[in-house]
Amino acid sequence: MPELPEVECVRRFLAHELTGARLIGAKFYRSDLREPIPVEQFKSSLKNQIVESFSRRSKYLLWNSCSGSVGIFHLGMSGQMLLFDQAAPRLNHTHAVFTFKNTLEGSPKYLHFVDPRRFGRISVSTSSELERHPYLQQLGPEPLGFRSLGQHLFSKSRTKTQCVKNFLMDQRNVVGVGNIYANEALFWAGVDPRTVAGKLSQERYERLGEAISATLNEALEQGGTSLKDFINPDGKPGYFRLRLAVYARAGKPCLRCDRKIISIRQQSRSSFYCPRCQR
DNA sequence: ATGTTGACCTGTAAGC
DNA sequence: TGCTTACAGGTCAACA
């Protein structure tokens, strides 16, 4: 589910609601997702500490406490962070509940980590060791605000024989782009997703770089993409679904030329493209 | 070394 | 009404 725009929307909401609050309770309902959760280390590092900020690296949400400890969250395919003002009943797949309290006054807030498929991750590190954490150490550059993204992708791709769409989704090349936004960016750049990455010209990578950043920014403004079950922590969906040009639009007319959007499988993921506009 | 496939999970929708 | 199959926003071990 969550690619960069969705995670960033979650980050912004939590930053607005929980910055400066103290974690007064952390309850885990299981000790593993796809991998074990370091439950005891998480609690001893973050419990009773004040939240300094929420940040994001790639699709990871980072919870920075004033003590220098950092909680690391990945939402996988089906993960959600839901914030409640009252002790709400747990949904079926709520694996952790964090209770926060603003230092002086106020009632507690409850943050639920929900993830039916359990492809998500929870870990903990410190601000000084963060970049060496196994989850984060291989990641490529952030796409937003990266002036020469197109140039970077061009030079990284020269020896690559894989398809450009797979190249874009490899988080070592650029982070945050998943299946939805890879498809969308390739459409806006006019690039066929099957093109060999190493054969695309510098000029076309420049265009692709701009398309990636424009697509991600527009999705951010819309609160992300809700295909079926993604919602932001306040319970509201994202509206970028209404602006999707190709993703999940097989058989429907291309927004530019009216030809039917085609669906194929690449690396056992669905790809969608317009056979006339994308070459 | 690089590229591809399938595994990890549950839920939902479509097909029979 | 079942039952079976395919597919879903990500990542990575295991293989070619």
Respond yes or no: is residue A59 known to be catalytic: yes
> How far is the C-alpha of A12 from the C-alpha of A26, rounded, in Å?
21
Respond yes or no: is residue A236 known to be catalytic: no
**Which pLDDT belongs to residue A170?**
98
pLDDT tens column, A111-129: 999 999 999 999 999 999 9
> How far is the C-alpha of A2 from the C-alpha of A105, rounded, in Å?
34
Q: Are A167 and A160 in contact (CB under 8 A)?
A: yes
Respond yes or no: is residue A101 known to be catalytic: no
The proportion of chain A whose per-residue pLDDT surpasses 70, expressed as a percent, equals 99
Mean pLDDT (whole number) for A162-191: 98
Task: State the catalytic residue, choosing from A27, A47, A194, A269.
Answer: A269
How high is the mean pLDDT of chain A?
96
What pTM was estimated for this model as a whole? 0.97
**Which pLDDT belongs to residue A29?**
98
Mean pLDDT (whole number) for A255-271: 96
Q: Does residue A123 lie within 7 Å of nucleic acid chain C, judged by its CB?
A: no
Instruction: Give strand B nucleotides closer than 7 A to any protein Cβ.
Output: 2-12
Q: How confident is the model at residue A255 (pLDDT cuts 50, 70, 90)?
A: very high
Mean pLDDT (whole number) for A9-16: 97
Mean pLDDT (whole number) for A243-265: 96
CA of A190 to C1' of C2 (A): 46
> Residue A103 above 80 pLDDT?
no
Q: Does residue A166 lie within 7 Å of nucleic acid chain C, judged by its CB?
A: no
Q: How confident is the model at residue A231 (pLDDT cuts 50, 70, 90)?
A: confident
| Residue carrying the six token digits 């990871």 | A60
> How far is the C-alpha of A98 from the C-alpha of A29, rounded, in Å?
11
Respond yes or no: is residue A158 known to be catalytic: no
Q: Are A36 and A122 in contact (CB under 8 A)?
A: no
pLDDT tens column, A183-192: 999 999 999 9
Neighbours of A242 (CB within 10 A): 9
Q: Does residue A159 lie within 7 Å of nucleic acid chain B, judged by its CB?
A: yes
Mean pLDDT (whole number) for A41-59: 98
Q: Does residue A273 lie within 7 Å of nucleic acid chain C, judged by its CB?
A: no
> How far is the C-alpha of A3 from the C-alpha of A61, rounded, in Å?
11
**Which pLDDT belongs to residue A1?**
62
Identify which has the larger pLDDT, A164 or A1.
A164
Question: Per-residue b/e over A168-196, b at no fewer than 16 CB within 10 Å?
Answer: bbbeebbbbbbbbbbbbbbbbbbbbbebe
pLDDT tens column, A60-102: 999 999 999 999 999 999 999 999 999 988 999 999 999 999 8
